[in-house]
Every structure is written in structure tokens, then in C-alpha cells.
Amino acid sequence: MKPPLVLSTTRYTKLADDITRLLGDNGRSSPDIPALHREHFPDGETYLRIEKPVQNEHVVIVGGTATADEMIEIVSLAWQVVRDGADRLSLVIPYYGYSTMERAVRPGEVVRAKVNATILSAIPNPPGGKVTFLVDLHAEGIQHYFEGNFSVVHLYAKDAILTKVKQLLQTETRPLVVGSADTGRAKWVESYANELGAEIAIITKRRHDGETTEILNVGGADVKNKVVLLYDDMIRSGGSIVKAAEAYRKAGAAKIIIACTHLVLTKQDEKKTLTKVLGSADALITTDSIPFADSLTSSPDVAAKLHCVSLATLFATTVLAGGRVD
């Protein structure tokens, strides 16, 4: 069986290339014959042309949905490959944007997580079906927002993250405690702790607004003179995770390792946000669900603390398995 043809949005070319290599090249990603031609015009419009034939092919499109432009590019590519006769379509979405807007709290609020799922669901069905792969959703229910004959596979980055955690702890003799920035991640923390044979210490907090939180208590295991693995699914402004790290330090933690799946970062000043988070920890582990700009990781201080693990193997394995997860 020949490997799928992999396309990607602008930001995800590196991850798409890694997935392509794992799926099996067969000459399909030859730099002399690119799969996709893209041009950006001065007026902001983008030209796309799929250079390779897709008829009767299994096409994989890799891209996040953090911005409207990324969403439109995914939908545009997907519609075109189905129109051109692709047999199967797989959407690999490492980061599902607007996942914190999964429900309306006040009248008139737009549930963007549902809107985006509805837009993606409108992509025509190829003969062999379509499936989307999502990773560590902020709210589990989002996978059920997709409609029609759209299979959804929710994947977890835990194994990839824990592999790196175990590497960092190889020479560590102090006990490990797994913690979280709030009680909302309690089940995730329990899962990580079970895998590592560690105790749990959870922080309770009160959120005052989108950027301000108040730490109320560190409950559970005693963290004094221990290593704390502090997990959250995503880091944006960094406020919650930094305050949590400070709380564990005050409770006596000897070392803080922060782990997150989606390092989103505040777009107004990504470098400042990353510096703030790194300054609160001894190490930061994340995935390539959101690509970093080279300018963010070029500093030796950042490189020494930031550990990025790839999701390429996770995606390639499940794509080849047809969406089945063991």
C-alpha cells in the first residue's frame, strides 16, 4: 500500500515533513516536485495549488485552527482534494483553537469551538471517508461537536511527554509529586501520577478574570524537598502556571518541572511570556502542537530549559492505523 500524500498549512510544514517521513516517503516529498505551491500576495490573499494528483489517494492535511486564516486554508485544501477525487481524507489538527470557548456562559456568546467544528464538518465526504485527529482537548466534549459522517479521534500526548520527563529524572534521587495549576486538570494529573508512581498535590485557585488568578491552597501530598511535575494542557499568558509554581516553591518544592501539551503563548509578546514561564521552573516540556518561531528558541538560556517533544510518531501511527487507537 502506498503512503498517504501529506499537505500542510504554512505554520505546520515541519511537522508535516516529519509525519511524511514516518508514513513512508516513496518519492512523494521530493523537493523537486513539491506537493503544494503557495504564494502570498501584497493585498493579503493567498494562492494555493496542489501540485500532485490526488485522485484515489489518501490525503492527509496537517494544520492548527488557532486563527481564521489557518481554518480557511485547511478547509480550502480539504475541499479541493475531495473535489479532485481523493479517496480518503485525514485532518491532523495538533492544536484545536478556541477550545476554551466550548460553551456559552452569558446570553449571546458565540461558542467558537462548536462553530469551527461545524465548518470543518461541512467539508464534503470522499468515498473512503474523512477523519480528524485532535490532541489533548481542553474540553473532552468538543470531539462530539463534529457532525455528519466525520470520524473524530482524540489522541493524548501523555506518552511523548512522559518519555521526556523520565529522561530528565534519570539522575534525580528526590521523590516526585505531580501537581496542577488548578483542580480542572485533576484527572489528567492523576493519570500522569499513576504512570510515574508519584503522589499528587493539587492547587485550588480563584480566577478573577482572563489574566488574574488567586492561589488559595496547595493540597494533597507534602512537596517539601521534592520534585514537582506541574502539568497543564495549555499555557497562554502564563499567569496561572507561574503562580502555581511559586506556590509549590513556597510549600518547599526543591525543583519544578512544568509540562504542557500546547504552548500557546500570548501573541502580543511571546518572548516575554516564555521568559516568564521559564523563569519559574527548572525545565519546561511541551510538544510541537504549536510551532515555535526560531527567534523564540535561539537563546542559550531558553534552549537549556525548553524541551520540545514531537507528536509526529503519534500522528503517523494512528493515521496508518486508520484512526484506531489501542
What string of DSSP letters covers 180-193?
Answer: ESSGGGHHHHHHHH
DSSP-derived secondary structure letter, 299: S
User: CATH number of the domain at 158-309, out of 3.40.50.2020, 2.30.130.60, 1.20.1050.10, 3.90.1150.10?
Assistant: 3.40.50.2020
The torsion angles phi and psi of 217, rounded to 5 degrees, stand at: -165, 150
Tens digits of per-residue pLDDT, 128-175?
Answer: 999 999 999 999 899 999 998 889 999 999 999 999 999 999 999 999
Residue 86 burial class via C-beta count within 10 angstroms: exposed 0-12, middle 13-18, buried 19 and up = buried
Predicted local distance difference test score (pLDDT) of residue 111: 96
Which three three-digit cell numbers place residue 216? 488559595
What residue spans define the domains of the chain?
5-156+312-320, 158-309
- What CATH number was assigned to the domain covering residues 5-156+312-320? 3.40.50.2020
Q: Which three three-digit cell numbers place residue 123?
A: 467539508
Residues 180-211 as b or e (16 or more Cβ within 10 Å = b) = bbbeebeebbebbbeebebbbbbbebeeeeee
Q: What local confidence, expressed as pLDDT, does residue 134 receive?
A: 97
Distances (CA, A) of 52 to 27, 39, 168, 303: 12, 17, 43, 38
CA angle 56, 60, 64 (to 5 degrees): 150
Residue 3: the pLDDT is 86
Q: 3-class DSSP state for residue 55?
A: coil
- The overall pTM is greater than 0.85: yes
- Contact call for residues 229 and 281 (beta carbons, < 8 A): no
Q: Beta-strand (E) ranges in the chain?
A: 5-8, 36-40, 46-50, 58-62, 88-93, 130-135, 150-155, 176-180, 199-207, 213-220, 227-235, 255-263, 283-287, 306-309
Which residues of the chain carry a pLDDT beneath 50?
Answer: 26-27, 29-32
The answer to whether 5-156+312-320 and 158-309 have equal CATH topology is yes
Q: Which residues are catalytic?
A: 205
**CA dist 61 → 6, 308, 315 (Å):** 6, 22, 11
The C-alpha torsion from 204 through 208 and 210 to 213, rounded to 10°, is -40
DSSP letters, 259-296, are EEEEE---GGGHHHHHHHHHHT-SEEEEETTSPPPHHH
**Confidence at residue 298, expressed as pLDDT on a 0 to 100 scale:** 80
Per residue in 19-42, pLDDT (tens digit) is: 999 988 543 544 445 688 999 999
Sheet holding 5-8, edge to edge: 5-8, 58-62, 88-93, 130-135, 150-155
The Cβ-side half-sphere exposure at 64, using a 13 Å CA radius, reads 23
Gap between the Cα atoms of 187 and 194, Å rounded? 11
